[in-house]
Amino acid sequence: MIDNKRPFPLSKPSQLPEFANLLIGGVAGAGKTSLLGLVGKGNKSLIIDTEGGTSSLNSTWFRQQDAATESENLDIVSIQPDLSATELVHAVESVFDYIIRTKNSDGYALVALDSVTEFQEKFLSVHQAADKRQSYGALRESMYSIVHKARQAPAHTVFTARLKATFDEVLNREVVRPEVSPGVWSVISGLFDNIGFLELKQQGVRQIRTLNFAHQVRTQGKDRFGIGELNDPTFIAIAERLSADGDAPVVPATPTPRPPAPRRGAATARSQA
């Protein structure tokens, strides 16, 4: 007699999360930091500043943008230069812990880390390990934890990064990726809902900014939410494409964060740079 009892549970595909976790890469001057403040009048943005770039949010250009929020709605967490590696990780994680614990009671439309590249450089400069591979392993575990906490936050989250061209041995060609170590990239790239590339393009006599989440030959984007490509992007425009109906508020009324992530094992000396 055949036993037709199924020995495993079944479920249907889960819905896309209410809040997106994005990684946006771009060269210096492409407008990554400015994008974090283009959340619309009256909306609030919380930015963890690791490289001092948020001063651009006081520029004349930024203030002239229709989507630029007011100065009083921009809250900056400046990372101090003399922190240890442990203190540095705590300084970033504590921001996401606060948003999770308070259920984003402050009503931030966006919480961002600007930038993950600078965070990596600061971490590696102060992490004390006889074997540098241990430092890279510790960095990998720290970034994995930070990104997972961001995924649980009841707010849209953005990580910015500088870009770097590198040869991919698997693809056998040069690709452009966010400037983080291969070990870090291997554990965080799959955690982002969307990965986009911000660049400046010449269109006649006018220079425009383009943000593209499509997976291309040189820039390997990711577009789980179907955002596509935006010219002169603002976070308001991104939020509209993230919503199911195209006109949902930047801060949804009923936050439903994701469940906690499974724990990873401790870093080992085999972790590669």
Q: What tens digit of pLDDT does each residue of 161-201 get?
A: 998 887 777 767 778 888 999 899 999 999 999 999 998 88
Alpha helices in 102-152 (DSSP H): 116-126, 132-152
59 preceded by cis ω (within 30°)? no
Q: What is the mean pLDDT of residues 236-255?
A: 65
Distances, alpha carbon 142 to alpha carbons 93, 120, 187, in Å? 9, 10, 11
Q: Is the pLDDT of residue 206 over 90?
A: no
Q: pLDDT class for 244, splitting at 50, 70, 90?
A: low
Task: Of 15-29, 79-93, 99-113, give the lowest mean pLDDT range.
Answer: 15-29
State residue 258's pLDDT score.
54
Whole-number Å distance between alpha carbons of 160 and 155: 16
State residue 34's pLDDT score.
93
Whole-number Å distance between alpha carbons of 113 and 142: 14
State residue 261's pLDDT score.
53
Comparing CA positions, the residue from 234, 261, 143 lying closest to residue 135 is 143
Q: What tens digit of pLDDT does each residue of 15-55 get?
A: 777 899 999 999 888 889 999 999 999 999 999 999 888 98
- Decide: 197 and 23 in contact? Cβ < 8 Å: no
* Total-model pTM: 0.83
Q: pLDDT class for 137, splitting at 50, 70, 90?
A: very high
- Decide: 174 and 38 in contact? Cβ < 8 Å: no
- Decide: 126 and 91 in contact? Cβ < 8 Å: no
Angle at the Cα of 15 (from 10 to 16), degrees rounded to 5? Answer: 135
Beta-bridge mates of residue 159: 23, 113
State residue 268's pLDDT score.
42
Are β-strands 156-161 and 163-168 bridged in parallel, bridged antiparallel, or unpaired?
unpaired
Three-state SS at 213: coil
